[in-house]
Chains A and B, each alone.
Chain A
Amino acid sequence: MNTKTQDPVLSVDELVKVFREGALTLRAVNGISFDVYPGEAMGLVGESGCGKTTAARSILRLIEPTSGHVYFVGTDLTQLSSREMRAQRRHLQMVFQDPDTTLNPRFTIRRTLSEPLQLHKLVGNGSLEERLLQTMSRVNLDPEFLGRYPHQLSEGQKQRVGVARAIITEPKFVALDEPTSSLDMSIRIHMIALLQRLQEELGMTYIFISHDLSSVRALCNRVMVMYLGTIIESGPTDEIFDRPLHQYTRALLSAIPIPDPQLRRQRILLEGEPPSLFDVPKGCAFHERCPDAQPGCREVRPILRDVGAGHLVACDRV
């Protein structure tokens, strides 16, 4: 997969999303910029409240961004009309987090899967059935499930229907929102394997939003770490996971239990809990909990800097 030799599929430029509740302002996404190249699987990680889910929804315009631009294969999505945006959705799909609530309980699987094809007029009457069968087999689901309702399927099966729905239009870009988080640890690997295989077969580009870093490591070639609405570190997966530079990334990685009792690990325990998004600190968003903080961190908000090998970090102490 080539990265820098081609133009990016997705290019996000200073995306901001702010929610206003009366007098309070919630800065969910505080100006993020990044590129995703064809064929890549870009991980977007962080804990709850970091803004990654809001970022994904803003990029896909499921909620309206407050400011910034999102270029999808050159087209600025933020400037499109609703009709134009709907047309773009054929290539901009999303796999949602909770399959229980994201499949319409009154629709059969067949109806749920046929709808995208019909909306974008991708099939004539003859080929609809064929397309459905092909997609079902791609996600390893028995075609007999087509006639069933979501409540008759297991968690894993429903999740795969969600994947099927996203890929049935053969989109160029798929955002995956915590696709493994509701699955048992023992079956996550199968979902990742499936997603990997699909990416190869259909030539899709992924953005993988998750707080499950083990899944991200298994699937993604590049990773971005978000904290309180900003990207604080990004780069190639192995580089970030093996040589994290930002204190938050290091704490995050050390917090994840590893299934190997032989490893005696030094755990970096963070103090307290993250501040709320209503109250984003001035200066570095992380300085209040950072073991390495200096007076200057309180004043100046660090920007992402390249420290070599495509590794970007937003920290003035590095």
Chain B
Amino acid sequence: MSAQTSAVFSPPSPARSVGRVRRFSKVLQQNRMLLIGLAVLLVVVVSALVGPYFITYEPLRTAPEMKLLPPSLDHPMGTDNFGRDILVRVLYGIRLDLRIAFMVAFTALIVGTLVGTFSGYYRGIIDDVVMRITDVMMAFPSFVLAMAITAMLGNTIPNVVIAIAISYVPYFIRLTRGEVLSARELGYAEAARCVGNPEWRVMYLHILPNCLTPALVQATLCLGWAILDASGLAFLGLGVRPPIPEGGVLVGEGAQFIISGEWWISVFPGAVIVLMAFGFNLIGDSLRDITAQEER
């Protein structure tokens, strides 16, 4: 029995904890974009994970006698000029692109939110310096920045991840800093200090968790952008290098054959890149809509 000296009642709360699964399916029902995005990605991811087990061809083995074959039952996406099956290379490419995308988003998210929180909480000179640095970084289109960094560091996969992540970090810093600026004024930050929390705990355990939502939404969108950036870099020769199967690499390999008619070498990988970016964008956009609605 609870002794409640509260007011008679607050307007009756909606039906309590409907159960996470039910709520999730309700969210899906109301947000077609989310549903489509998730569906697209599911198809892509599952085929990338499972596909290679059903295909006997190897992504790197050349077979000159099979070169430049158009799409057929044997080779649903045809073969390239080295006789390699394009479908299996596309599937491995998806795996790599996804790995790169997640590493980029994760890194940018972590670095950006930590720095942004620190900057927004302490303000002062540190904040000014951080803001000026992000200003400079954001003055460049992120792709150009990534290009410059890979050119400097060299084109290995880790460097590609670093380069793209660096070009995204300023956005995360800004986003998080903005949220922290308003959150730090709220009572619970002061209450946290009053109770005996050292500043770092107030920042990272109290304030930051409440400011993560926009950053997480942004991270989802970044997954899509990262795939496009990574592919772009690879296409230009600044990113992942052939013969490693990756979306941009594959498109690049097929570029010279479009005119001569062997369209399938570029088009299929290109379509898959677009599909992945599209899927992530849909998810990210609908998440943004959903979280904006909840705040209201």
Name A residues whose Cβ lies closer than 8 Å to a Cβ of B.
57, 60, 62, 82, 86-87, 89-90, 93-94, 96-98, 101-106, 115-116, 119-120, 140-142, 144-145, 152, 154-157, 160, 162, 165, 183-184, 186-187, 190-191, 194
Contacts and interface: CB of A to CB of B under 8 A. Distances in A.
Given A62-B190, A82-B198, A155-B10, A105 B210 contact: yes
A60 to B, nearest CB: 7
Contacts of B3: 140-141
List the 9 shortest-distance A-B pairs measured between CB atoms, nearest first. A156-B6, A102-B187, A142-B2, A190-B5, A140-B3, A101-B187, A154-B6, A89-B196, A104-B188
A104 B1 CA distance: 26
Contacts of B7: 154-156, 183-184, 186-187
Given A152-B13, A154-B10, A93 B195 contact: yes
B210 A106 contact: yes
Given A140-B2, A156-B5, A102 B191 contact: yes
B6 A89 contact: no
A96 B13 contact: no
A106 to B, nearest CB: 5
B194 A154 contact: no
9 contacts: A86-B196, A86-B197, A86-B198, A101-B188, A102-B191, A116-B196, A155-B6, A155-B7, A194-B5
A119 B195 contact: yes
Chain B interface category by residue count: 20 to 34
Judged by DSSP, the binding face of A is helix
Nearest to B1: A142
B272 to A, nearest CB: 38
A109 to B, nearest CB: 13
A115 B197 contact: yes
Nearest to A82: B198
Contacts of A82: 198-199
Interface string B195-224: 111110000001001100000000000000
A157 B3 CA distance: 10
B293 interface: no
A119 B188 CA distance: 16
Given A86-B196, A115-B197, A119-B196, A165 B4 contact: no
A106 B196 contact: no
A141 B197 CA distance: 25
Nearest to B206: A104
Contact of B195 (A116, A152, A155): A116
Contacts of B5: 140, 156, 160, 187, 190-191, 194
Given A93-B195, A187-B5, 10 more contacts: A86-B196, A94-B191, A94-B194, A104-B188, A104-B192, A115-B195, A140-B5, A152-B13, A152-B16, A155-B7
B179 to A, nearest CB: 13
Interface string B228-256: 00000000000000000000000000000
A60 B196 contact: no
B193 interface: yes
A165 B6 contact: no
A317 B192 CA distance: 45
Q: Which of A86, A93, A98, A104 has the most CB of B within 10 A?
A: A104
